[in-house]
Amino acid sequence: MLNVYTDRKFIEKHPKGEKFPLVYALLFDERNEFPEVKNYYQLVDSIDEAAIAFLPFSWNYYLNENLQVEAERFIDECHAKDLKVLTYISGDQGVMPTNKEVYVFRNSGYKSKKLPNQISFPAFFKDPLEHYIEKENHQVRVKAEKPVIGFVGQATPNLLKAAKDIGLIIYRNLKFYLGKTRLEPQQWFAAPFMRYKYLKRLEKNSNIKTNIIYRERYRAGVRKNRSVDKTTYEFYENMNDSDYIFNLRGAGNFSVRFYQTLAMGRIPVLIDTDCLLPLEGIIDWTKHCIRIPQGKEHEMEARLLEFHQNLTQAAFEEIQQTNRKLWEEYLTLTSFFARIHDLIKKDKL
């Protein structure tokens, strides 16, 4: 178990701040959703008893509230005691952290621009097999001659929306270079338009069976009670009825759907837009997904068909079971930070 130090006084002063996920699990887990986290981490009140420190809130929060001085004071305090400091960046665009030596966890970002101490971590969500799909209705799929690829989400040929999406990115990037925002610059990318383009290509291939539901808006425009809305059930039912799931980034350079696919024991087809995947030194991602490199998107259909045709029935079943197991053992909040615990213990973070 690791003794963890964080700035509890700062948390008390700013109770609505966006919390580091592990800090949330240790201090605010009122529903007892993450009890096993405490098998790996224990919060201590004294910095002298700690093995490591966590900045309690996201960098976004400190910068947006003009509290960077407070964050850096905490970092200096920890460094004076030779403690490593783990920090967190949230959101699609992200922000640049301090120049001080810290470890930075984030979902989004570009592999080619990865900071030396940047750590990619997965999106966290409720287990779909406990909340959305009855376990008896979730079966390992039998391999058919044609691969079945599914998708539910925002994908539209609307050129006006595509132009608007790119215009907003250009506007935000310009604001960054003019010093008017701290949000990092992004590649020009109209995600809904590009999804539509790739999905239509899949539909045109007679050797591939598609299972696609197009949405004009994110989550079909649902804003409240998303976790219990029918669109969420449709989303997971679509995965349940598919072998493979198409994955392409959204506003940020990452895909929550990628991890949801693994949780459902299905096989992601990832259009890799310079993505960072978690624990790349530990997980051999080539065994769990079809990863289409940037610049090779034209090979998507051929790569999917080749992958599917080369699998025996036994191998097809095994990858489904292995993907679900991977999510359970490496990519939930508890299991991911258990792996981080092990890396810290071995001084390999």
How far does CA 162 lie from the centroid of its chain?
24
Residue 224 pLDDT > 60, yes or no? no
- Can you tell me the mean pLDDT for 151-172? 95
Q: Which of 104-108, 133-137, 197-201 has the lowest mean pLDDT?
A: 133-137
- Which pLDDT score is estimated for 93? 83
What is the pLDDT confidence band of residue 348, given thresholds at 50, 70 and 90?
A: confident
User: In this model, does residue 57 exceed pLDDT 90?
Assistant: yes
- Asked whether residue 66 carries a pLDDT value surpassing 60, the answer given is yes
Judging by DSSP bridges, how do beta strands 52-54 and 290-293 pair with one another?
A: unpaired
Q: What is the pLDDT of residue 303?
A: 98
CATH code of domain 128-331: 3.40.50
**Taking residues 96-103, what's their average pLDDT?**
89
Whose CA is closest to 119, among 133, 131, 137, 107? 107
Q: Is the pLDDT of residue 223 over 80?
A: no
**Tens-place pLDDT, residues 234-262:** 999 999 999 999 999 998 999 999 999 99
Distance, CA of 22 to CA of 56 (rounded, Å): 9
pLDDT for 148 equals 98
What is the arithmetic mean of pLDDT over 137-154?
96
Distance CA 108, CA 275 (A): 8
Q: How far is the C-alpha of 114 from the C-alpha of 211, rounded, in Å?
A: 35
3-state SS, one letter per residue, for the chain: CEEEEECHHHHHHCCCCCECHHHHHHHCCCCCCCHHHHHCEEECCCHHHCCEEECCECHHHHHHCCCHHHHHHHHHHHHCCCCCEEEEECCCCCECCCCCCCEEEECCCCHHHCCCCEEECCCCCCCHHHHCCCHHHCCCCCCCCCCEEEEEEECCCCHHHHHHHHHHHHHHHHHHHCCCCCECCCCCCCHHHHHHHHHHHHHHCCCCEEEEEEECCHHHHCCCCHHHCHHHHHHHHHHHCCCEEEECCCCCCCCHHHHHHHHCCCEEEEEECCCCCCCCCCCCHHHCCEEEECCCHHHHHHHHHHHHHCCCHHHHHHHHHHHHHHHHHHHCHHHHHHHHHHHHHCCCC
182 confidence band (pLDDT: 50, 70, 90): confident
The Cα 136–Cα 242 span in angstroms is 16
